[in-house]
Amino acid sequence: MMMAEANPAAPKHFPVSWDQFHRDARALAWRLAAAGPFSAIICVTRGGLVPAAIVARELNVRMIETVCVESYSGSGVGRQGDLRVLKGISDAVTAGTHGGGQGVLIVDDLVDTGKTARVVRDLVPKAHFATVYAKPMGRPLVDTFITEVSQDTWIFFPWDTGLAFQPPIREGG
């Protein structure tokens, strides 16, 4: 019987459960506790909403802002479209005592190519940028992350998936 060879061009899949994501987001908060204190959190929507809520709770940060950037459009896994800032950051967070983002924490679920991270970092250049997961192309743009995955890995977050059978890896899963 002949074994099928792995296709190096095929993306790897990394499914993350709610439990695992919660543990990873709390681990991020532990790392960030030493980097703070932070007076505000800016979460990058939509992926940053869940980790930002967990980090805000753990670090007792009450001022939470969103920046809405659309980078994945259309249907299909891994299809990245043009970047659009749908909602910017309020002056209450970017100006005054936070001057350029000093003392502000940006939270997102993942830094992938770094395109979204670059747009957000340019809005608040002095902010501390943290993600739960990082890929090599985007990693230089974040200050803190928990887990690095290869560039060809697609992470299936728990809010993007439902319960379904997963075939064993050797059977094409």
Which residues form the catalytic set? 108-109, 112
**Structural domains in the chain (count):** 1
Task: Examine residue 22 and state whether it is found in any structural domain, yes or no.
Answer: yes
Task: Examine residue 117 and state whether it is found in any structural domain, yes or no.
Answer: yes
Task: Examine residue 88 and state whether it is found in any structural domain, yes or no.
Answer: yes
Task: Examine residue 159 and state whether it is found in any structural domain, yes or no.
Answer: no
Q: What is the pLDDT of residue 91?
A: 83
Task: Examine residue 5 and state whether it is found in any structural domain, yes or no.
Answer: no
If one compares 2 and 164, the residue with the highest pLDDT of the two is: 164
Task: Examine residue 72 and state whether it is found in any structural domain, yes or no.
Answer: yes
**Measured between alpha carbons, how far is 56 from 44 in angstroms, rounded to an integer?**
14
Cis link prior to 57 (omega < 30° from 0)? no
Contact 43, 127 (CB under 8 A): no
Task: Examine residue 79 and state whether it is found in any structural domain, yes or no.
Answer: yes
Task: Examine residue 49 and state whether it is found in any structural domain, yes or no.
Answer: yes
Q: What is the pLDDT of residue 2?
A: 43
- Write the CA distances from 117 to 36, 67, 82, integer angstroms: 20, 11, 14
Q: Which of 28-32, 89-93, 99-103 has maximum average pLDDT?
A: 28-32
Q: Can you say how many angstroms the Cα of residue 132 is from the centroid of all Cα atoms in its chain?
A: 6
Q: What is the pLDDT of residue 11?
A: 80
The residue range of the domain holding 94 is: 16-145
CATH number at residue 31: 3.40.50.2020
Phi and psi at 134, nearest 5°, equal: -140, 145
- What average pLDDT is seen over the chain? 87
**What is the per-residue pLDDT across 13-25, written as a single tens digit (0 to 9) for each?**
999 999 999 999 9
H or E element: which one contains 81? Answer: strand 80-87
**What is the per-residue pLDDT across 26-74, written as a single tens digit (0 to 9) for each?**
999 999 999 989 999 999 999 999 999 999 999 999 999 999 998 755 5
